[in-house]
Amino acid sequence: MKKWILAAAVSAALMGCAGQQQAETSLPEGVTLLETVSFSGEQVGIPYRKYQLANGLTVILHEDHSDPLVHVDVTYHVGSGRELEGRSGFAHLFEHMMFQGSQNVGDEQHFKMVTEAGGTLNGTTNTDRTNYFETVPNNQLEKMLWLESDRMGFFLPALTEEKFEVQRETVKNERAQRVDNRPYGRMGERFNQAFYPQGHPYSWPVIGWPEDLNRADVEDVKHFFQRWYGPNNATLTIGGDFDEMQVLAWVNKYFGEIPSGPKVDAPKKELVTLDETLYLSMEDRVHLPLLRIGMPTVYARHEDEAALDLLSNILGGGKTSLFYKNLVKDGLAVQAGVNHPCQELACQFSMYALANPARGGNLAEVEQAMRDSIKEFEKRGVTDDDLEKVKVNFEAGTIFGLQSVQGKVASLAFNETFSNNPNMIGFDLSRYANVTKEDVMRVFNKYIKDKPMVVMSIVPQGQTQLIAKADNFVAPAEKVASVAVEELTLTPQVVSSFDRSVIPAAGPAPVLTMPELWKGKLANDIEVIGTQTSETPTVEIVVYLNGGHRLLDVSQAGLAGMTAAMMNESSLKRSSEELTQALEMLGSNVSFSASGYQSQLKISSLTANLDKTMAIVQEKLFDPGFKPADFERVKQQKLQHLQRELTEPNYLANTAFSGLLYGDKSPFGVSSGGSLETVSAITLDDVKAFYKQQYTAGNAQVVAVGNLNETQMLAKLSTLASWNGAATPLPELAELPEFQGGKVFIVDKPDAAQSVIKIGKRALPFDATGEYFESYLMNYPLGGAFNSRINLNLREDKGYTYGARSYFSGGPEQGYYQATASVRSDVTTKALIEFIKEINTFQESGMTDKELDFMKSSISQSKALDYETPYQKAGLMRNIQRYNLDDNYSEKQSEITNSIGRNELNKLAKEQLNIDDMVILVVGDRAKIESELSTLGYPIEILQL
């Protein structure tokens, strides 16, 4: 989905002033300054300096001293689009392989070092690039550069057959979890086979075809690395709190001696075309029939891309679109939309609709409605408001995207990789701002009107009568390239000029400064807690209403969410579409939601538009329309959503686990989203009654973050001061059922590719500095970090899963402990044995001294990352407000973390982690797993949901 962003709140001078500067004589030898870009006043952009090393590595530095952290990103211009037919999955496999150690970094040490340093890390792969990134306290930057350079220049000496096999299994597990075991999971790869000609680099999935992964060997992996992962095909981007000249010296030291790789040319861009409309279909374990239509257009940053983006938004970009009016509001579809995702080599004008079974679910009828909407647009044309709302939202999104260092670094890295120019924000804002009505109609006629398309139907198993039209496309047999890469020229392994086995020491610990908080009250005594930021001209406000699902009898489960959904619809004065239009014209977002203990109202606005946004908030909050037509549509959508959820293994697991822990009489044991039975029984009068009970000033508390001081913010919030109503007391909790520990429960999910395992028990409610927090510390080495015992065993050692973890979760009244993973169906019992072994061993012997040191280092240093973004600050303030904590509770947590002893934590492990006190839940194919599970010796019970 495109990112949409805003113009009304900023100056028209959006391009910024980019200047160039001669290389400084103090630069390290071999480092060349290519450009310096800065901005002033209300100009929108990211200041940076761009350098290049002699080996071709591009280095972009963005200084931001607002928080004591740095974000490091290494982007390689290689994705699945660089692969050859029959050799798919290599780029994504490398995303995994390059976390497995290098010549001077031991197995699993990359994750351990970053986590121990208090940082976070990950990697991602798409069709066109692979990136690796870390956010760490600023004193850890040199170590991050050492880590990244070692895997860039010294990865191959550490590559082994064993590592390759384990990561290949991990990728297969990821595919099973994200593709094979997910409803509609195979849609994209099947669709792309029809959309792109055979051999096109986008015609195979990023994760790879299973048979391609199976035929790969270690030599293929080596060759792929040698071809694409050289410094000349990479961009190193660093943002945050650092000294530029020191960083350049480090970059040159660690990366400068890595030899340049083979020459890399930009991939050739040729427009994709279709000769005829192609139909294909598939049956899947789904409830809602889905129709997907795609038409080829251009490629990223083509001159017609912006106009096509605006066209897609007009047709299907939300409640003001034609698709919403003709398909969703009419009830033919539960959900529908249009977007125009673009990649380096191709864009796709993509339309979809989830058909409403209550209207028959016939996809031929849905296709006709989609075609009719396109014809309606042709007659209707483009309005001034169409253009304005999309342009405003595009610019607003740009500004909101600058709230974090990671967001800014990601933008710089992306633009450099694909445009050889990090400074593309102004260009992008300009090209969207300059789109005219004539441009939109021109691209409509050129790429959309009467053009061939791919039409794909996904229907529930056994319901092929619902497909749009008989298939006329059959995927061709795959051709297999004889080699994994072409044009490979090998470079000799560098002999480093210094001892790379020496891990760089951390610098002085950063001085952590809590955000300066203020507390106030509105005229009606609503409590407000806030903080002022100055990084972007934006405001984020959350109104929390105590209650939510907890206010309800279990027979009304789902009512809190239904009421919030109705609050997102019409008011007494305007329709839902008119309200959405008004917000879009401001680049603002106002949304209601509900959860276990509270209902929420979230407000995001550019500061300049906050008054107008708050006027809309006042209308939606105080004068909801509660129209019968809206209610019937929202209720039908909710019921179909619940039917769809029943096909999701994780939903089944979460629902069953809560029921086992708390029973069906407690709000904690019944989903806050409700069930088919409870939601079916909800009436519009129920919604109106709950609105009066929930949406009162007495239940409300406000958290606010923005570039306004206390006086200014309270003045902006004065629209809420006329709100009245007393607080609503929570009802007494039902008695909890007797707990059935030491038992295996199975929820049957026929043909499931994976089994979802959950092991757990009722546990401690939340407290910030007591036993609950200490239990979090205790569990950290067992299942709280990537390199925890559970994850290293099940994922890294055994290859059973894509990820495994354990954690304590607590609310005001109740809490639970859970260990969980999705594992290959054929290793369900083996994985469960390992889970039990790890929990038992940790319960009996506790953590080691090394694990204690790791936990203390990781958690205490991670505080440097806690308060960067507005929503991070809002989370801190909400905890203070909700649990009546001291402003400095986070500092007290650090004191506990640093002072607590191993014996104290291991005593907690003995008390909290007795496996006999826990239930074991498995959601999977009963026919395949029950027999082996019975060998464990636990009683087995089959659950019906």
Angstrom distance (rounded) from CA 400 to CA 468: 40
**Burial bucket for residue 641 (CB in 10 Å: 0-12, 13-18, 19+):** middle
Question: Is pLDDT of 679 > 80?
Answer: yes
DSSP character at residue 730: P
Report the percentage of the chain scoring pLDDT > 70: 97
pLDDT in tens, 721-759: 999 999 999 999 988 988 888 899 999 999 898 999 999
Alpha helices (H) in 646-747, listed in sequence order: 649-662, 676-681, 684-694, 710-716
- Cβ atoms of 529 and 580 within 8 Å: the answer is no
Task: Give residue 900's Cα distance to chain centre.
Answer: 34
Name the strand (E) or helix (H) holding 745: strand 743-748
SS3 284: strand
Angstrom distance (rounded) from CA 20 to CA 38: 10
pLDDT, greater one: 95 or 599: 599
- Cβ atoms of 334 and 355 within 8 Å: the answer is yes
pLDDT in tens, 836-895: 999 999 999 999 999 999 999 999 988 888 888 887 888 889 999 999 999 989 999 999
pLDDT for the residue numbered 514: 81
Average pLDDT, the chain: 92
In CATH terms, is domain 517-720 a member of 3.30.830.10? yes
517-720 matches 278-402+419-466 in CATH topology: yes
pLDDT for the residue numbered 24: 52
- Cβ atoms of 640 and 288 within 8 Å: the answer is yes
SS3 291: strand
pLDDT in tens, 496-511: 999 999 999 998 888 8
Residues near 676 by beta carbon (within 8 Å), at least 6 away in sequence: 639, 642, 643
Q: Which of 8-12, 185-189, 535-539, 685-689 has the lowest mean pLDDT?
A: 8-12
pLDDT for the residue numbered 46: 93
DSSP character at residue 572: S
Angstrom distance (rounded) from CA 703 to CA 105: 44
The domain 26-255 is classified under which CATH number: 3.30.70.60, 3.40.1010.10, 1.10.1740.10, 3.30.830.10? Answer: 3.30.830.10
Question: Is pLDDT of 383 > 60?
Answer: yes
Going by pLDDT thresholds of 50, 70 and 90, the confidence category of residue 167 is confident
pLDDT for the residue numbered 25: 59
Question: Is pLDDT of 354 > 90?
Answer: yes
Angstrom distance (rounded) from CA 330 to CA 355: 11
Question: Is pLDDT of 14 > 80?
Answer: no
Report the percentage of the chain scoring pLDDT > 90: 80
pLDDT for the residue numbered 8: 29
pLDDT in tens, 217-228: 888 888 999 999
In CATH terms, is domain 278-402+419-466 a member of 3.30.830.10? yes
The length of the chain is 945
**Burial bucket for residue 507 (CB in 10 Å: 0-12, 13-18, 19+):** middle
pLDDT for the residue numbered 181: 81
Question: Is pLDDT of 20 > 80?
Answer: no
The DSSP secondary structure of 161-200, one letter per residue, reads HHHHHHHHHHHHHHHIIIIITSTTTTHHHHHHHHHS-TT-
Please name the CATH architecture into which domain 743-868+886-943 falls.
2-Layer Sandwich (3.30)
Going by pLDDT thresholds of 50, 70 and 90, the confidence category of residue 263 is very high
Distances in Å between the Cα of 315 and the Cα atoms of 338, 349, 354, 578, 583 are: 6, 11, 16, 16, 18
Question: Is pLDDT of 22 > 50?
Answer: no
Name the strand (E) or helix (H) holding 703: strand 700-706
Question: Is pLDDT of 292 > 90?
Answer: yes
Region 50-63 average pLDDT: 97
pLDDT in tens, 615-626: 999 999 999 999
Domain boundaries, the chain: 26-255, 278-402+419-466, 517-720, 743-868+886-943
Question: Is pLDDT of 367 > 80?
Answer: yes
- Cβ atoms of 748 and 942 within 8 Å: the answer is yes
Question: Is pLDDT of 18 > 80?
Answer: no
> How many CB atoms neighbour CB 692 within 10 A?
10
Angstrom distance (rounded) from CA 202 to CA 307: 23
pLDDT in tens, 464-480: 999 999 999 999 999 99
Angstrom distance (rounded) from CA 96 to CA 695: 47
